[in-house]
Structure 1
Amino acid sequence: MHIGEDLIILGVLLVISYILGRLGKLIGLPSIPIYMIVGLLASPHTGWFPLNFESADIELIAVFGLILLLFSLGLEFDQEEFFDNAGKLLISGGSYVLINMGLGFAFGMMVGWGTREALVIAGMTGTSSSAIITKLLIELRRLANKETPMILGVTVVGDIFIAIYLAIVSVVLSGKTEVWPIVLQLSIAFLFLIVMFSLARWGGRVVSRLVRTKDDELFTILFFGLVVLFAGIGEIIGVTDAIGAFLIGVVLGASTYRGKIERVAVPLRDVFGAFFFLNFGLALNMAEFGSVIGIVLIAVVMTFALNIISGLLLARLHRMGLVEGLNSAAILVNRGEFTLILATLSIGAGLDERLQPFAGLYVLLMAILGPLFAARSERIGTALRRTKPKAHPRKVPRDPLLVEEIALVEAATAEIGSGVDHGTQRAVQRVVEQVRGPDDKPDQPREPPTDSMADFIADRFPPEDTEQKPDTRERPGDYT
């Protein structure tokens, strides 16, 4: 195939993605499943689309999309928030991974494909997609939300765990039994993580000096080269290219050039990210979905149920409400690139062939249902919060002395121009009413409060008699 035909095919796929993306926006569907559906329709396995295009033809571009998505996530990572709450986030991320992967492994054992297959299924159903999570947080404009630091923290913990998990799974699937090679590989991975996080934490000024340049073209080449370089380092040492890109994003995000990098990286991320999801759809084969559709539907229901429970527990742990819990569940429920990696490893290890169509259909359904749930989670949470019964206010007992003092102050400041007798009379009336309370009846006898200033006022200034009486007071003479 000539390069001209390749360019025409890519252009057609991207234009179709744009058209379907505009239609999807009308119903609140994000662009992620649109790219995957276009890739599925153009897949050589379907024959529905008059295109002859292989997934491997854009594999390298898709890798650029994946690492730029993770790089953007690291760039937006609030390390101050993470380090200040590292203990809580580790507990949150560990709890999330434990709940989802533990029950995922039990589900894999129930399927009956084998122990190694169950271990792979646990990773497929128990690990979130960092790329899709990043894309959703950006598209839904939730980077500034209250629950976003918690989601990012859980995602980072999950990514660190999946790096260790992939290293262990690779060894298990390869049949190796030596302990020291496994220990060495895990030690190198942990050392890499510690060095990069330490550099991001305390080396921000040094990094700013190293990347300082006024030439925008050279600056773009520099940061893109660093992303590709550290992605390759991460892949070689066993923590995956995505983790390497994320960590260099965290480091560059600690520099003073974070805003400048974002302005250049966002357009590149959007273009290459579309290729990543398009390539994922191209690798799927719809003819194999029928043999696993029942198991996939059970796995989808289980994943949503576990993530809703996990999201609400995480929100409660961080002292957040129902809306934040559902938002967290809707973002973390998405599955993607890690499931594809695990499917590739399982096929290379000679495991059950049904794992590949299971992974493809499972991720495709989750990539459609997950973003739809995420786009509506705020409205669902708000509606559920409004339907909660309101707690009745607790009746606070009245303090008679306090009520009397308040009434006397009001009497002293009211009706200044109408005379002392009228104001005092109303004060006494108010004191009696407030001390009795609204439930007391006036015809019931009641003992006057002891040591009450109201009694003193009533004796000193008795109420006026409204009846007309002859004036018998002695008038003084005129001594002018």
Structure 2
Amino acid sequence: MEQNILFEIGLAICIIAAAGLLASRLRFSIVPLLILAGLAVGPHMPQLGMIDLRFIKSASLIDFMGRLGVLYLMFYLGLEFSVGRLLKASRAILKTGLIYMAINFTIGVMFPFILGWPIKEILVVAGIMTISSSAIVAKVLVELKRAVRPETEMILGLMMFQDVFVAIYLSIVSGLVLTGSTSPVLVLKSALVALGFMIGVLLLGRKLIALLNRLLNIPSDEVFMLALFGALILVAGFSESIHVAEAIGALLVGLVLAETEHVERIAHLVVPFRDFFGALFFFSFGLSIDPLALPGAVWPAVIAVILTVIGNFVSGMISGRMSGYSHRASVNIGLTITSRGEFSIILAGLAKAGALLPILQSFAALYVLILAVLGPLLTKESKWIYAKLGRLFKWPPIAGKSKGKPSSIA
């Protein structure tokens, strides 16, 4: 009997459910287990009689549903904040974003340079090692109930700052890798479009709050949900069409709607979609990695992971302290932004299209896999890590619940 797409999707959801059940039993973050579940199956698997775990027919559909998962994760995270809060922190976000990029991009350039890789490969690896995964960071913040913590405002700001950097950097690297040249005019245009779009949505959204309140005053939950998700996906799609990450488009919609009087109703409706499609994203991410191609890049990937963890932690600590956050909150910032994901995979695909060194594919896959698993673990254990480092660096001890901003533990 030939396995159909519907059966494959059902099989994928059952595997995801099993990973979720195991995570619940182990009291462990679900993100690493979902990625490992996807890695354990996929195109490299042999067909086992009637059960085909290669997910060849359904791969594109699973990938699309995973993309929706990123949108719902970022949209929900935006709902936990507001445009006003983010705009108030804009100066601090710019300052800390520059610090973050200076430290991590320098590490990303120096590492492949020391390995003796060519200039195009160096630029690709620098991008892979610099940009955090918006999807994984959003999932972990929601999963650990940290969306309401003060330092999460800084983390979200860093995600948006990185997206402006992505718009510029991808223009430069894609031009160099695919055509051998770059146009300064096109690079500047991409940067201005990305920045203008984000600022425009935030400012316009604030001015239209009264209108949005009236438009969303819909008695039927069904119609309300359709209008809401239609707007979300439309804005995210438009965002992607102008080379701003679709995830940032979804975040912007959430930030705007967080100012409305309907925010609680919206959050209640979006949670099931966030959880279901978000799980599919991490599973599809695991499916995209070929484990048979990983061994050749083990040592470069492991060294890059160590450098990334150190670079993110240091930049998070410096950024947090300069912005007035406590040591504990600064540690949370440095550990939370460690995960790598979707942008790193995009750059690896660009390297493949440009016929760069074959090792880049395996390096990117293994590097992303390790940090996608390690990042949520570091975030979850941030209290324990702070306690250990606090004794070494004489930081204030944890007294009750940290409020994030300077207080008794500042």
Asked if these proteins are the same fold (TM beyond 0.5), I'd say yes
Q: Does 1:248 align with 2:250?
A: no
1:330 and 2:335 aligned: yes
Letter in 2 for 1:257: H
The 3 A distance-change label for structure 1 pair 8 and 251 is same
Residue range with higher mean Cα deviation, 166-175 or 111-120: 166-175
Please give the alpha-carbon distance, in whole angstroms, between the structure 1 residues aligned to 2:169 and 2:373: 26
Q: How many angstroms apart in 1 are the aligned matches of 2:82 and 2:328? A: 22
2:202 corresponding residue in structure 1? 197
TM-score by length of 2: 0.88
Instruction: Look up the match of 1:463.
Output: none
Structure 2 contact 82–256 (Cα < 8 Å) conserved: no
Q: Provide the rounded CA distance (Å) in 2 between the counterparts of 1:26 and 1:101.
A: 39
Cα pair 1:97 1:126 within 8 Å, conserved:
yes
Question: Deviation at 1:387?
Answer: 6.5
- Are 1:20 and 2:16 counterparts? no
Q: For the structure 1 residues 127 and 111, does the alpha-carbon distance in structure 2 shift closer, same or farther, using more than 3 Å as the test? A: same
Name the structure 2 match of 1:160. 164
Find the counterpart in structure 1 of residue 405 from structure 2: none
Instruction: Letter of the 2:80 partner, please give it.
Output: E
What are structure 2's unaligned runs of at least 5 residues? 397-410
State whether residues 41 and 48 of structure 1, in contact with CA within 8 Å, keep that contact through their aligned partners in structure 2.
no
Q: TM-score, normalised by structure 1?
A: 0.76
How far apart are the structure 2 equivalents of 1:75 and 1:390? Answer: 33
**What's the offset of the Cα at 1:335?**
0.9
**1:171–1:182 CA contact under 8 A, matched in 2:** no
**1:11 matched to which residue of 2?**
10
SS of residue in 1 equivalent to 2:5: helix
CA 1:355–1:118: 2 relative to 1, 3 Å:
same
**SS of corresponding position for 2:4:** helix
CA contact (8 A) 2:164 2:191 kept: no
In structure 2, the residue matched to 1:42 is 41
Larger deviation, residues 323-332 vs 188-197: 188-197
Gap change, CA 1:9 and 1:255, over 3 Å in 2: same
**What's the offset of the Cα at 1:386?**
5.5
Tell me what 1:345 maps to.
350
317 and 40 in structure 1: CA distance in 2 versus 1, 3 angstrom threshold: same
Larger radius of gyration: 1
Name 1:431's counterpart in structure 2. none
Q: Structure 1's 295 and 28: CA in aligned 2 closer, same or farther, altered over 3 A?
A: farther
Offset at 1:174? 2.8
User: Is the aligned partner of 1:356 residue 2:355?
Assistant: no
Looking at structure 2, the residues matched to 182 and 155 of structure 1 have their Cα atoms a distance apart, in angstroms, of 20
CA drift at 1:285 = 1.0
The aligned residue for residue 51 of structure 1 is 53
Other-structure match for 2:401: none
Cα offset for 1:15? 2.2
For this pair of structures, how many residues does the alignment match?
390
Note the 1:100-115 alignment, pairs <5 A.
Answer: 100-115=104-119
The CA distance in 2 between the partners of 1:356 and 1:15, in whole Å, is: 29
8 Å contact 1:76–1:253 — kept in the other structure?
yes
Q: What's the counterpart of residue 225 of structure 2?
A: 220
2-side partners of 1:390 and 1:348: how far apart?
48
Corresponding residue for 2:29? 30
Is the CA contact (8 Å cut-off) linking 2:171 and 2:186 kept in structure 1? Answer: no
Q: Structure 1 residues 330, 295: closer, same or farther in 2, change over 3 A?
A: same
Give the aligned partner of residue 257 of structure 1.
262
- 1:210 and 1:122, CA in 2 relative to 1: closer, same or farther beyond 3 A? same
Q: For residues 116 and 220 of structure 1, do their structure 2 counterparts lie closer, same or farther at Cα, with a shift above 3 Å needed?
A: same
User: Is the Cα–Cα contact under 8 Å of residues 116 and 173 in structure 1 kept in the other structure?
Assistant: yes
Q: Distance in 1 between matches of 2:256 and 2:191?
A: 22
Secondary structure in 2 matching 1:147: helix
Q: Summarize deviations over 1:190-244 as a string: whole Å, max 9, x none.
A: 3322211211333222222233311110111111111111111111111122222
Partner Cα distance (2:228, 2:395) in 1: 53
Distance in 2 (CA, whole Å) between partners of 1:388 and 1:123 is 32
Tell me the amino acid that sits aligned with residue 97 of structure 1. M
Give percent identity, aligned residues only.
35
Offset of residue 353 of structure 1 = 2.0
For residues 244-300 of structure 1, what are the alpha-carbon distances to aligned partners after superposition, in whole Å with 9 as ceiling and x for unaligned?
A: 222222222222221111111111011111111111111111111111011000001
